[in-house]
Amino acid sequence: MTFTVGVIGGGQLARMMVPPAIALGLSIRVLAENEGSSADIAATAVGDYRNVEDVLRFARGVDVVTFDHEHVPQPVLRALVDAGVVVRPGPDALQFAQDKILMRRRLSELGMPVPVWAAVSSAEQLDAFIAENGGAAVVKTPRGGYDGKGVRVVRSGAEAADWFEAVGELLAEELVDFRRELAQSVARRPSGEIVAWPVVESVQRDGVCAEVIAPAPRSAGRLADVAESVAVAIAEGLDVTGVLAVEMFETTDDRLLINELAMRPHNSGHWTIEGSTTSQFEQHLRAVLDLPLGATGGREPWTVMVNVLGGPAGESLDARFVSAMAEHPMVKLHGYGKESRPGRKVGHVTVAGDDLDDLVYQARAAAAHLAD
């Protein structure tokens, strides 16, 4: 018998689960949206993750179903569970990653540190929230947002009028005055074992993760302890299995406030492939299979990851890899097998070592080669 993991979604997160599955001798199958997906090498089916039949057919014979993304509708998830399929994370946990209002409500109930927030259903309600919170608000559509999509900073309710019309209820949050953004990943097994990687600093540009420094500079001690304890409490409180990434604000008055959650491997954890003893992708497979978890320490004092965003449409990464390889023999290059489009995440680079300034320089330079 070989353990078999089924992954719904054929994006780069599914792709990056394949190497550790190969290493561990696990079998991995992917339900991709289309032919030629990023995770093509492991795609055993092409289908619609919103279609119960497609998903049930795919799930036959796998030991556990897990995810490349959090968009599988609740009815589909419930149908899987009803059919006896093991789904990790389960629907009860995933709903909090799917709906930001549910998430904020549940985290508030758990006493977790979140920004001031409200569910608002009209421009008037939003105006009232803005008036109470310093004259501005971050407004988010509860569902479907990612990489800065579905997020808007507003100074009046009217600026979200189109969203009220299209979506109905929105999440309003205080505009947090933050020093930097951090991300804390943990992995949790159904049997309860839970491990945490070092907290990292995540540099965002235009709402998209651009760079990650692991561990977050000047995080040793209280900051790391609080970040870890918050992520552990969320994983346990929401009964998350697999990897949970918690994006946080480090406020200018030295608090940590929870921004977003992801119940899967996350961009802020790509550094773990080379930078940690156990990568988030290996750990996710171990966790959803309820296997003992691996060590999560950093392998070098510092690891820096820089995303590669797509440049000119249609051009492949290959030619650019040559110059990046030639000039940066220490940097590890990752391509996602995706067609390049402006702003699209098509790869990332990672470099680990002792001298943070030098690593940041190298990683940025290598990524610039690839993105040119």
Query: Which residues of the shown chain bind a copy of itself in the complex (CB under 8 A)?
Result: 1-3, 15-16, 18-19, 22-26, 41-42, 273, 277-278, 286, 291-295, 299-300, 316-318, 321-322, 325-326, 329-330, 332-337, 347, 352
Question: What is each CA distance from 119 to 73, 74, 116, 154, 321, in whole angstroms?
Answer: 22, 21, 11, 15, 46
Distance separating alpha carbons of residues 154 and 172, to the nearest angstrom: 10
Question: Where is the binding site, in residues?
Answer: 100, 140, 173-176, 181, 259-260
Q: State the nearest-atom distance from the C-beta of 70 to a copy of itself, in Å.
A: 23
Q: Would you say how long the chain is, in residues? A: 372
Long-range interactions of 163-166: CB distance < 8 A, separation 24+: 163/139, 164/121, 164/122, 164/123, 164/126
Nearer to a copy of itself, 98 or 350 (CB): 350
Contacts of 130 (CB under 8 A, 6+ apart): 136, 137, 154, 155, 156, 157, 172
Q: State the nearest-atom distance from the C-beta of 108 to a copy of itself, in Å.
A: 35
Nearer to a copy of itself, 140 or 345 (CB): 345
Q: State the nearest-atom distance from the C-beta of 160 to a copy of itself, in Å.
A: 40
Nearer to a copy of itself, 100 or 284 (CB): 284
Nearer to a copy of itself, 127 or 300 (CB): 300
Q: State the nearest-atom distance from the C-beta of 177 to a copy of itself, in Å.
A: 39
Nearer to a copy of itself, 169 or 339 (CB): 339
Q: State the nearest-atom distance from the C-beta of 300 to a copy of itself, in Å.
A: 7
Q: How many CB atoms lie within 10 A of CB 21?
A: 20
Nearer to a copy of itself, 6 or 115 (CB): 6
Q: Cβ(43)–Cβ(54) under 8 Å?
A: no
Q: Supply 177's token pair.
A: 């005055």
Nearer to a copy of itself, 19 or 113 (CB): 19
Q: Supply 108's token pair.
A: 């508030």
Q: State the nearest-atom distance from the C-beta of 46 to a copy of itself, in Å.
A: 17
Question: What is each CA distance from 138 to 80, 158, 171, 233, in whole angstroms?
Answer: 35, 13, 8, 25
Nearer to a copy of itself, 101 or 333 (CB): 333
Question: Where is the binding site for ATP, in residues?
Answer: 100, 140, 173-176, 181, 259-260
Q: Supply 267's token pair.
A: 């961009």
Q: How many CB atoms lie within 10 A of CB 197?
A: 30
Question: What is each CA distance from 42 to 31, 213, 241, in whole angstroms?
Answer: 9, 30, 22
Q: State the nearest-atom distance from the C-beta of 340 to a copy of itself, in Å.
A: 11
User: Cis peptide before 215, with omega less than 30 degrees from 0?
Assistant: yes
- One DSSP character per residue, 88-99 reads SS-HHHHHHHH-
DSSP state of 142: S
Q: State the nearest-atom distance from the C-beta of 359 to a copy of itself, in Å.
A: 13
